[in-house]
């Protein structure tokens, strides 16, 4: 599978990517995870990305394309990939198209998770993330066994800096302005598959004819 997962923050792209990975050898590539890793490690990339990320703004297309050109040519991508959080702007989508054509590769489809805004806000404000392994919790629907402690690795779980209400509002506005136009872009490319849910079964049904 070579799929783009498209949808606002909190739509469930990461969750669906992990579920789809159980079905074949495709790897999940999350630009957000790559950037958070770089920030945590204090690398040059992390330093360049940190301020924009904390504010809920996008980092530059140049930075992202630098990461993705390298990442998509690594060996584990041969079996397929699920792009989670990339592309996020029309210039990124155009650059990806040019890169894939250079690599002689083709996307199977672009899966749009079309989730209502109130559900998104509720999910994001109640989401908590492990500072060590990245496991996701939700204070309402999936709390950890011990408060503030990750079930998987025992480290601290926190609310991400970009999941305060102010940053979330900004991230949704950024999505509407810069990322939502990709829906039309990929519809025109004949690649768009839209589903109004992030539950695995309906998503699998919608994907069946494409993969
Ligand atoms: P995410 O975990 O996908 O919501 O990404 C977290 C943050 O990383 C975003 O709010 C952006 O600041 C940055 N980011 C991730 N992917 C991209 C991208 N494709 N283009 C620009 N910024 C990105």
User: Which domains are assigned to the chain?
Assistant: 2-26+79-208 (3.40.50.300)
Does ligand 1 come within 6 angstroms of the Cβ of 12? no
Record the pTM.
0.89
Can you tell me the distance from the alpha carbon of 211 to that of 204, in angstroms, rounded to the nearest whole number? 10
Q: How many CA atoms lie within 13 Å of 96's alpha carbon, on the beta-carbon side?
A: 24
Whether the pLDDT of residue 211 is over 80: the answer is no
- Is residue 142 part of the annotated active site? The answer reads no
Rounded CA-CA distance 201/84 in Å is 19
Helix (H) or strand (E) holding 20: helix 13-21
Residue 162: is its pLDDT beyond 90?
Answer: no
Instruction: For residue 134, give the 3-state DSSP assignment.
Output: coil
Options 36, 123, 128, 171, the catalytic residue: 171
Ligand 1, from 53, 68, 90, 110: best to mutate by most atoms within 8 Å of Cβ? 53
Q: Are strands 27-30 and 127-130 parallel, antiparallel or unpaired?
A: unpaired
With cut-offs at 50, 70 and 90, classify the pLDDT of residue 55: confident
Active site includes 187?
A: no
How far apart are the C-alpha atoms of 192 and 190, rounded to whole Å? 6
Statement: residue 53 has pLDDT above 90: yes
Average pLDDT, the chain: 94
Of 2, 13, 123, 128, the active-site residue reads 13
């Amino acid at each position: 599978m070579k799929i783009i997962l498209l949808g606002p923050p909190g739509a469930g792209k990461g969750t669906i990517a992990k579920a789809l990975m159980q079905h074949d050898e495709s790897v999940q590539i999350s630009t957000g995870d790559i950037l958070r890793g770089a920030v945590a490690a204090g690398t040059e990339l992390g330093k360049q990305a940190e301020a924009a990320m904390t504010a809920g703004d996008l980092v530059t297309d140049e930075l992202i394309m630098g990461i993705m050109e390298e990442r998509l040519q690594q060996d584990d991508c041969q079996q397929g990939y699920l792009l989670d959080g990339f592309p996020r702007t029309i210039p990124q989508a155009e650059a990806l198209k040019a890169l894939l054509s250079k690599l002689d590769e083709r996307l199977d489809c672009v899966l749009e998770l079309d989730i209502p805004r109130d559900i998104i806000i509720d999910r994001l404000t109640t989401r908590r993330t492990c500072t060590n392994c990245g496991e996701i919790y939700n204070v309402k629907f999936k709390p950890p066994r011990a408060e503030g402690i990750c079930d998987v690795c025992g480290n601290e779980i926190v609310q991400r800096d970009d999941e305060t209400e102010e940053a979330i509002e900004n991230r949704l506005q950024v999505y509407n302005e810069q990322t939502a136009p990709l829906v039309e872009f990929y519809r025109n490319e004949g690649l768009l598959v839209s589903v109004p849910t992030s539950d695995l079964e309906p998503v699998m049904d919608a994907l069946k004819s494409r993969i």
